[in-house]
Structure 1
Amino acid sequence: MAAMGGEARRRAILRWLGESGSPVPGGELAERSGVSRQAVARDVAVLRAAGHGIVATSRGYVLGAAGGRGRTRVFKVRHTRERLAEELRTVVDLGATVEDVIVNHRVYGVVRGRLGIASRRDVDRFMRSIESGRSAPLMEVTSGYHFHTVSAPDEETLDAVGHALDEAGFTAPILPYERDALAGE
């Protein structure tokens, strides 16, 4: 395939991400547009600078909350590894997306990992990665305490997510120093 011009390629990347129901790997975007993965990464940087909410996850690029997913809210939660899938399913079953995981480490500060988990299938894929034993969940470095940015189409869905997480015993109060750390990120 012949390489597209820069502007046409960036429009196509936005279209492909908008049409996809799951993350699109950089290699796939590169192949579709006839350029290198590095060129795609530069295009994504240009699109982000222009205000498009493209998020890089471990499985590829997605349009994040700033890209039209509606509202976001940060929830502080705590649980064991054994309840990780239950927590994620609680969110996605209500039609919301777990955009990231954040820990506020006393030594390293705020550490964020992009997730983009929007379905039970995404939860299952994530859990297989964790269970492979190659990496541990970030929450394990902070005794199970962590934060998630959750996106949803509206405030009512976010309220339902908060209620469901609370009912399941997952929520923890956000302390003033944590709020300041997250805001200063």
Structure 2
Amino acid sequence: MSETTDRRKEIINILKNSSDLVSGTELAKKLGVSRQVIVQDIAILKAEGNSIFSTNRGYRLENKDKYKEIIKVSHKDEDIEKELNAIVDLGAEIRDVFVNHKVYGAIKVDMNIKSRRDVKKFLSEIKSGISQPLKNLTENYHYHTIVADEKEILDEVEKELDKLGFLEKSSKYNTNN
């Protein structure tokens, strides 16, 4: 086996064994190469069919065994923390948020929120005034892709969001909404 093949296998191994995102810089240090080499390796690994999720904060290996559901919610700005914490407290991840804008169509942003710490970081970025919540483009209506290790967790998330009054009755994603 070549050094390149071994390095790519090690990248997969590192991502498999990490519960958090792993930055390109961190991978480069661990493997003794430049970050650019890591970026190229990731591109090749993806082309080979590896399900690697990339963000500006790092990489993660997608777990294809996870359960995923898109839900429609609506709430005021002051309820964002309550909504996000309700989801992560039940053990689910908020993969993204998106809206269906009447002019622009679907606008989607990756969130990758898995913990209360991630929620706090997200809220501090919103409160800094850099940007507004995406839901404000569509009178508070928005969708989240929620991911969990078990179907029961997704069911619990829906029940909790319904109890809080955030879950929309047409909660399943419909491209006509």
TM-score (norm 1): 0.82
Could you tell me how far apart the structure 1 residues matched to 2:32 and 2:136 are? 41
Equivalent residue for 1:70?
Answer: 66
CA contact (8 A) 1:57 1:115 kept: no
1:60 aligns with 2:55: no
Equivalent residue for 2:49?
Answer: 51
The letter of the residue matching 1:100 is: D
Going from structure 1 to structure 2, the CA distance change for 1:144 and 1:53 (only over 3 Å counts) comes to farther
Greater radius of gyration (CA)? 2
The letter of the residue matching 1:112 is: K
Going from structure 1 to structure 2, the CA distance change for 1:169 and 1:48 (only over 3 Å counts) comes to farther
SS of 2:174's partner is helix
Going from structure 1 to structure 2, the CA distance change for 1:70 and 1:42 (only over 3 Å counts) comes to same
Could you tell me how far apart the structure 1 residues matched to 2:146 and 2:121 are? 18
Equivalent residue for 2:168?
Answer: 172
Q: CA deviation at 1:104?
A: 1.5
Going from structure 1 to structure 2, the CA distance change for 1:180 and 1:16 (only over 3 Å counts) comes to same
- Give a deviation string over 1:13-39, Cα, whole Å, max 9, x none: 222222222222222223323333333
Could you tell me how far apart the structure 1 residues matched to 2:39 and 2:176 are? 29
Q: CA deviation at 1:117?
A: 1.0
The letter of the residue matching 2:143 is: F
* Aligned partner (choices 112, 115, 135) of residue 111 of structure 2: 115
* Aligned length in residues: 176
Q: Which runs of 5+ in 2 are unaligned?
A: none
- Give a deviation string over 1:64-86, Cα, whole Å, max 9, x none: 3xx24511000111112211111
Could you tell me how far apart the structure 2 residues matched to 1:174 and 1:63 are? 31
Going from structure 1 to structure 2, the CA distance change for 1:88 and 1:39 (only over 3 Å counts) comes to same
CA contact (8 A) 2:96 2:144 kept: yes
Q: Which moved more, 1:52-61 or 1:85-94?
A: 52-61
Identity percentage over the alignment? 41
SS of 2:30's partner is helix
CA contact (8 A) 2:93 2:146 kept: yes
* Aligned partner (choices 152, 156, 174) of residue 152 of structure 2: 156
Going from structure 1 to structure 2, the CA distance change for 1:69 and 1:41 (only over 3 Å counts) comes to farther
CA contact (8 A) 1:62 1:116 kept: no
Could you tell me how far apart the structure 2 residues matched to 1:77 and 1:161 are? 12
Could you tell me how far apart the structure 2 residues matched to 1:107 and 1:79 are? 22
CA contact (8 A) 1:56 1:114 kept: no
The letter of the residue matching 1:48 is: K
Supply the RMSD in Å over aligned alpha carbons: 2.4
CA contact (8 A) 2:85 2:116 kept: yes
Q: CA deviation at 1:124?
A: 1.4
Which has more strand, going by share of residues?
Answer: 2
Q: Which moved more, 1:27-36 or 1:97-106?
A: 27-36
